[in-house]
């Protein structure tokens, strides 16, 4: 499916938040996805992932998660300096600010003429996987895909301690988790804690683990794993298709 791309601006707490939107070219109405990047924001690797998903029939809306700190359009390079910069941006962003951004993107999708208002989901990577997990607390989110989400058991997300692991009961939809078994940022104990908490909360969920490292779905890094990425996308697309019947 061919897609079209655009950038929109949303105002959140008097800060301009750029949102990259990729959607099917064919006229119609489609499910909407709140799409979260990793700490490097909307660089080429992340936009390719967003575009790929849009090609399966979704309106994908990807916000710049550090818009209160970084100038509009800032892309953080995925190197040592970029890692320090992105992590510092994350530490300086309030948990409540992340939540407010989520609300704004959901409201945008609900108001967009090309989106089926009652079919909204979320997908994210790394810190974005954690943000996608938190997005599941919103009533509109029917399906959440969290790819190697960091900081959920520890509460590490932004300024303050995130209460994510303690709010499982607020999830109304279904979850899909993607992990790399060689990921030092989400060790086995953390993975098991997340899974067990979902099970104890009776939250419908699926878990797929691959013999891969952290950020294995970024095609511009040394940890990229094409086979694991292809397998993960197959499960993600099948899950979303089932959830939204597209």
**What ranges in 140-225 are assigned the alpha helix state H?**
188-200
Catalytic option among 183, 190, 205, 225: 183
Give the number of C-alpha atoms closer than 13 A to the C-alpha of residue 200, restricted to the C-beta side: 10
Q: Is 14 a catalytic residue?
A: no
Q: Is 146 a catalytic residue?
A: no
Q: Is 126 a catalytic residue?
A: yes
Catalytic option among 67, 130, 205, 214: 214
Catalytic option among 102, 112, 126, 225: 126
Give the number of C-alpha atoms closer than 13 A to the C-alpha of residue 86, restricted to the C-beta side: 22
DSSP state, residue 213: -
CA distances from 224 to 15, 49, 147, 214, 228 (A): 34, 13, 14, 9, 9
Alpha-carbon gap, residue 141 to 171, rounded angstroms: 9
Residues labelled as active-site residues:
126, 183, 214
């Amino acid at each position: 499916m061919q897609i079209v791309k655009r950038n929109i601006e949303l105002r959140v707490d008097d800060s301009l938040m750029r949102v990259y939107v990729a959607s099917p070219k064919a006229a119609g109405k489609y499910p909407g996805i709140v799409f979260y990047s990793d700490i490097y924001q909307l660089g080429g690797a992340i936009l390719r992932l967003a575009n790929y998903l849009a090609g399966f029939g979704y309106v994908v809306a990807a916000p710049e998660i550090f818009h209160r700190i970084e100038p509009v359009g800032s892309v953080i390079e995925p190197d040592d300096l970029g890692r320090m910069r992105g992590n510092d941006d994350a530490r300086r962003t309030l948990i409540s600010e992340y939540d407010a951004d989520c609300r704004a993107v959901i409201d945008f999708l609900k108001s967009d003429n090309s989106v089926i208002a009652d079919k909204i989901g979320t997908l994210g990577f790394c810190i974005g996987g954690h943000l996608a997990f938190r997005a599941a607390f919103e009533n509109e989110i029917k399906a959440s895909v969290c790819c190697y989400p960091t900081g959920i058991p520890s509460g590490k997300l932004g300024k303050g301690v995130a209460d994510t692991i303690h709010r499982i009961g607020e999830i109304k939809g279904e979850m899909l988790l993607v992990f790399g078994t060689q990921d030092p940022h989400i060790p086995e104990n953390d993975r098991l804690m997340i899974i067990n908490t979902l099970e104890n909360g009776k939250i419908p969920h699926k878990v797929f683990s691959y013999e891969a490292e952290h950020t294995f779905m970024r095609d511009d890094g040394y940890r990229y794993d094409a086979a694991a990425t292809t397998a993960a996308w197959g499960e993600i697309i099948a899950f979303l298709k089932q959830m939204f019947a597209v």
